[in-house]
Amino acid sequence: MQNLPEKLLKKIQLREKSNILRALPETRNGVDFISNDYLGFSRSAAMFKAAKEVLKTYDIQTNGATGSRLISGNHKLYTVVERELARLHNIEEALLFNSGYDANLGFFSSVPQKGDCVFYDELIHASIRDGMQMSYAETYKFKHNDLQDLEVKYNRLKAKGKINGTIYIVTESVFSMDGDTPDLEMLTSFCESNKCLLIIDEAHAVGVFGKNGTGLIQEKKLEEKVFARIVTFGKGLGCHGAAILGSNALKQYLINFARSLIYTTALPPHALANIWVGYKKLARREDVEALQDNIKFFKAQIKKHKLEAFFIQSDSAIQCCLIPGYSKTKEIAAQLINKGYDVKAIASPTVPKGQERLRFCLHSYNSVQEIEEVLRLLATFV
């Protein structure tokens, strides 16, 4: 076996020394305040069975996709599911990708061109950052959820004659590590006034917000004002994959230029059957409503235990308790885990240094007693 180069070993040691070395966790069996499976769809036996029925209906008995979508992998469920996604999300077209990571990488590496500008929220997801790094466009960050900062930076660059080409603005409708939301109405009106194209990552809004859990853009009826939406299925839908929602022309462009779509084996048929079944269950609304009730209850309990000052304001399924200093965050997480509650301590570089936090993911299947107890314990530990 060949050894890892010395300089890479040093990087591991540095992380170890700083107490932020990542490792793959063991599967835990505590009360779930950690997974992105907001509605419990990943564990639904009925959905597992229903997905099999979909495959039977379409007479599909294959395990894998057999190739890229542009070669042999574009099996018939792709057309069916993409058409359904476009209808449910009230948009011209949907284009499926293997994951949200792939969708963002494909979009941001291929759409913004040399001479274009991308403005992005400083806390934007790593997949968008990675995509932008592969692009020749100029990129500028603005302060988190701070539209005024965006405006100041935009105007300053414009005055210097540095705003050329097409202007893209990208943010998330629910931030993955904060759970908060930008002012989407103001953002869309800024984009309209300045002829900017807006991209919204809805990874953590699907299954949580909107009629039938279709996301915040639809809840706010802003579909027409957004250039592209990214919806992902590994979170609220409990399965796998993602889609970019936009115009017919955007879909055609991505099929031709998004390398993370072109140069990879397509999703297998059962993954698409899962997505389809997931959207059917969303439409029944009972799970989304149960989740929304739990979010309200969690927030009321934060108040009751006088923990408001610790929590980032959020109406989503992601609720974060700031506990600066990773040793302390980890220690409190360990105490909760000891009591049977799975929570995640989040450290730098995932979040900025000094903003370490406990991240609670809420679910439709968390009971009122579990929520009451985990926050009662938290109040005694912080």
Ligand X SMILES: Cc1ncc(COP(=O)(O)O)c(C=O)c1O
Which is nearer to ligand X, 127 or 316 (by Cβ)? 127
Which is nearer to ligand X, 31 or 206 (by Cβ)? 206
Residue 309 Cβ vs ligand X, minimum distance, rounded to whole Å: 26
Per-residue tokens: 229: 């939406």
Residue 127 Cβ vs ligand X, minimum distance, rounded to whole Å: 5
Report the distance separating Cα 242 and Cα 230, nearest Å.
7
Among 42, 99, 301, 364, binds ligand X (CB under 6 A): 99
Nearby residues of 240 by Cβ (< 8 Å), 6 or more positions away: 98, 99, 233, 234, 267, 271, 274
Tell me how many helices (H) and strands (E) the chain has: 14, 12
Q: Which stretch binds ligand X (CB under 6 A): 52-60, 95-103, 215-223, 366-374?
A: 95-103
Among 37, 116, 138, 201, binds ligand X (CB under 6 A): 201
Among 40, 73, 100, 210, binds ligand X (CB under 6 A): 100
Binding of residue 364 to ligand X (CB under 6 A): no
Question: Which 334-363 positions form the footprint of ligand X (CB under 6 A)?
Answer: none
Which is nearer to ligand X, 218 or 301 (by Cβ)? 218
Report the distance separating Cα 185 and Cα 269, nearest Å.
38
Among 93, 116, 138, 172, binds ligand X (CB under 6 A): 172
Report the distance separating Cα 127 and Cα 107, nearest Å.
10
Report the distance separating Cα 111 and Cα 341, nearest Å.
43
Binding of residue 179 to ligand X (CB under 6 A): no
Which residue(s) pair with 141 in the sheet?
Answer: 120
Residue 202 Cβ vs ligand X, minimum distance, rounded to whole Å: 8
Residue 201 Cβ vs ligand X, minimum distance, rounded to whole Å: 5
In what side-by-side order are the strands of the sheet with 117-121?
Answer: 93-97, 242-246, 228-232, 197-201, 167-172, 117-121, 138-142
Which is nearer to ligand X, 104 or 301 (by Cβ)? 104
Per DSSP, 98 falls in state: S
Q: Which chain residues interact with ligand X by CB under 6 A?
A: 99-101, 104, 125, 127, 172, 176, 201, 203-204, 232, 234, 242
